[in-house]
Amino acid sequence: MRTIERFDIRGRFLLGLAAILLAGCGEAPWNDPYPAGDATGNRIYSSFAERPKHLDPARSYSADEYAFLAQIYEPPLQYHFLLRPYRLVPLTALEVPEPAYFDADGNPLPQDAPAESIHRSDYLIRIQPGIRYQPHPAFAAYDSGDYRYHALTARDLRGINQLGDFEQTGTRELTAWDYVHQIKRLAAPWTHSPIAGVMQKHILGFEEYAQSLAETAETDPLQRVARLRDSEIAGVEVVDPYSYRIGVKGKYPQFAYWLAMPFFAAMPWEAEVFYAQPGLHERNITLDWYPVGTGPFMLGENNPSLRMVLERNPNFRGEPYPSEGMPEDTASGILADAGRPMPFIEEAIYSLEKESIPRWNKFLQGFYDSSGIASDAFDQAVQIDAGGEPVLTDAMRERGISLLTSVEPSVMYMGFNMLDPVIGGDSERARLLRRAISIAVDFEEFISIFTNGRGLVAQGPIPPGIFGYREGEAGINPFVYEWVGGRAVRRSLDEARVLMEQAGYPGGRDQATGRALTINYEAIATGPDDRARLNWIRKQFAKLGIELVIRSTDYNRFQEKIRNGTGQVFMWGWNADYPDPENFLFLLYGPNGKVEHQGENASNYANPEFDRLFNAMRFMDDGPERQAAIDRMVELARTDAPWLWGFNPKAFSLHHRWMYNASPNQMANNTLKYRRVDPELRERLRRDWNPPILWPLWAIGGLLSVIILPALWLVWRRERSTAL
């Protein structure tokens, strides 16, 4: 009897083990990080490296967060997916609003009225009727019309730990009040919106409204929502359920771009009331964690320490795929889905992947559909061909992976603090010194060494793709480059040395004192990888005999030095909010200086002519007049050289062959809805690429046997041996 029982236990164990092993020998690869059968679903697999801090559209201001938010919330406008230069098109709006201009007496002005005469610009935004919110408990109502979950008690909240624990959901139609409510939220001090300061300067009545909210010092969350609902911003009004008007101070053509950012997405008051109820915050059920939108997707799972899942919003209206693009788009096949209702996928799974090595390997195994390229994997993925163009390696091509590249609307520059008595200022001596350094610091080499060639040397503050950027000979910085043989060639070091002599620093020594010129470089250095970069920068300055002192610090102290204007030279960058030259040239606008005005002009550059032209250019429509103003501003900036213009980074992305409709768009964040996948192909290739290799297991088993069995024999023999 005991023998049979023992056999049963052993037999069950062996059967179980066999079942596990056989299960492994089935269809799904052993190393598949997703549940079995998932790969055949119409979903996209991606990753994220940083957990989003905010998912409230009034607070979020980071690309990592926009990757999720922009799929859920819908502002009235969006960027066209394919057309370049970047162009605004309606999203929930019926059309891109044309501002109406008024003088100080409220009289209408023509579209070509001078900016000085315009006292107010009105943007009338008409939204499409019939747009509905995603299913959400905030909208759940009884037959009587009363909201089911707007008066939750402690008893109601028993067993509620996440949003999905609420059994009932509801929806309602999007209205103009929702957009206006969100603008009020931007003004509320308790929302901590990063653009509140900017909007105070532009939206009529915004500043006064924010002040009135601050004065009430309301602390109860429900009372705060009630306060927003009961009050109005003077310059913002609901015209009818499907249209609202925003009054802007003076002329501000860039305002339309803000209407394409999640800050101006609709926010239903029901959601605010729902989340403001006591007991929900303690359960981490907040608006900042569980978004409520009208977009093509909704957040099905929010576990940023593990995974974020976007699910198709069943109430989404089915926006058609764009039917026009650039000439090359027809040939590439990216217009094949023209007119078809989006989104094409049911779900997108984003897994947290903090380290680049596992992220890259899982992409190669087919467990992520797309990937960027980390520096340490660059040579494995991309090589530079004879023409200097990046192409895929054979290994990537064999797998059918495609490479997409585009220049980012960003600039990485080396700035001089113009308030510094040595390197800054308006003197000819300092100007010549800055120009000499501009020649000496070889950014072509920097791009080649530190970014794997992923960048374009900048000739001025405006990156390619933005109005005002000039290509070819007309676009080069003549103080640093000359046009030779059809391309820009950096001027020689001899020219830089001559400039140093003219500046009074022959051989890098001050002519007056004979002392070596020493300049401090403010650096954010957090790891050993930074050492090579800093050494390289030191060598660039040493070409001119300048002794560069690297002052490494953390990001907080670095920012403090820049805010206080105590640094001399530093490296920083700017990523465009919107594709307009104003968003780059304002980085050199005097009244935007960091030290005096706490603005974004980190080099504290101030040139009266530049500032005057900036004030004119910002109000102009794109055209020859604006181009001429920009040309002059760029010329002034190049002459004064407050920056080494650095480079414009290039984005490289890789996509598997089962991924369709991937097109680089550096301004649009809501691109998930365009994506289409072939799940069957993905499933097949994953299996082909990831067969479990079992011989190492047998080898390890054999090796252990070889070690353990003789050892056991030795033990046995020793125990039976006799003493001498």
| Interface residue list for another protein (CB under 8 A) | 29-33, 35, 51, 53-54, 61-62, 189-190, 192, 194-198, 214, 281-284, 286, 288-289, 303, 305-306, 351-355, 357-358, 361-362, 364-365, 367, 554, 556, 559-560, 577, 598, 600, 690-694, 696-697, 711, 714-715, 718-719
Smallest distance from another protein to CB 520, Å: 21
Smallest distance from another protein to CB 357, Å: 6
Q: At what angle are helices 443-450 and 529-542 packed, to 10 degrees?
A: 160
Beta bridge partner(s), residue 297: 312
Q: Which is nearer to another protein, 586 or 658 (CB)?
A: 586
∠ CA 713-718-721, nearest 5°, is 125
Q: Which is nearer to another protein, 114 or 691 (CB)?
A: 691
In Å, the largest CA–CA distance within the chain is 119
Smallest distance from another protein to CB 189, Å: 5
Smallest distance from another protein to CB 39, Å: 13
What is the Cα–Cα distance from 78 to 92, expressed in whole angstroms?
9
What is the Cα–Cα distance from 85 to 121, expressed in whole angstroms?
25
Q: Are 140 and 169 spatial neighbours (Cβ–Cβ below 8 Å)?
A: yes
Q: Which is nearer to another protein, 580 or 640 (CB)?
A: 580
Smallest distance from another protein to CB 38, Å: 11
- Amino acid (1-letter code) at residue 12: R
What is the Cα–Cα distance from 614 to 630, expressed in whole angstroms?
8
Closest of 19, 655, 124 to residue 372, by C-alpha: 655
What is the Cα–Cα distance from 46 to 371, expressed in whole angstroms?
8
What is the Cα–Cα distance from 430 to 640, expressed in whole angstroms?
9
3-state secondary structure of 123: strand
Query: DSSP for 143-188?
Result: TTS-BTTSS--TTTTTT--SGGG----B--B--HHHHHHHHHHHH-
What is the Cα–Cα distance from 179 to 75, expressed in whole angstroms?
8
Smallest distance from another protein to CB 118, Å: 24
Q: Which is nearer to another protein, 289 or 652 (CB)?
A: 289
Q: Which is nearer to another protein, 7 or 190 (CB)?
A: 190
Q: Which is nearer to another protein, 231 or 284 (CB)?
A: 284
Smallest distance from another protein to CB 173, Å: 30
Enclosing H/E stretch for 415:
strand 410-416
| Locus of tokens 């163009």 | 389
Q: Which is nearer to another protein, 142 or 698 (CB)?
A: 698
Q: Which is nearer to another protein, 82 or 685 (CB)?
A: 685
Give the number of other CB atoms < 10 A from CB of residue 73.
26
What is the Cα–Cα distance from 703 to 665, expressed in whole angstroms?
54
> What's the burial of 68, exposed, middle or buried (CB within 10 Å: 0-12/13-18/19+)?
buried
Q: Which is nearer to another protein, 208 or 501 (CB)?
A: 208
Name 179's Cβ contacts closer than 8 Å, sequence gap at least 6: 76, 125, 127, 244, 264, 265, 266
Q: Which is nearer to another protein, 57 or 325 (CB)?
A: 57
Beta bridge partner(s), residue 100: 122
Smallest distance from another protein to CB 712, Å: 10
Name 233's Cβ contacts closer than 8 Å, sequence gap at least 6: 180, 183, 184, 187, 203, 204, 205, 206, 209
Q: Which is nearer to another protein, 21 or 532 (CB)?
A: 21
Smallest distance from another protein to CB 194, Å: 5
Query: DSSP for 257-302?
Result: HHTTSGGGS---HHHHHHHTSTTTGGGT--TTTS----SSEEEEEE
Q: Which is nearer to another protein, 241 or 358 (CB)?
A: 358
Smallest distance from another protein to CB 119, Å: 25
Measured in whole angstroms, the distance separating CA 506 from the mean position of its chain's CA atoms is: 45
Beta bridge partner(s), residue 349: 45, 309
Smallest distance from another protein to CB 378, Å: 18
Distance in angstroms between the alpha carbons of the first and the last residue of the chain? 48
Q: Which is nearer to another protein, 531 or 557 (CB)?
A: 557
Smallest distance from another protein to CB 111, Å: 29
Q: Which is nearer to another protein, 7 or 716 (CB)?
A: 716
Q: Which two tokens stand for residue 178?
A: 């929702």
What is the Cα–Cα distance from 55 to 623, expressed in whole angstroms?
38
- Amino acid (1-letter code) at residue 517: L
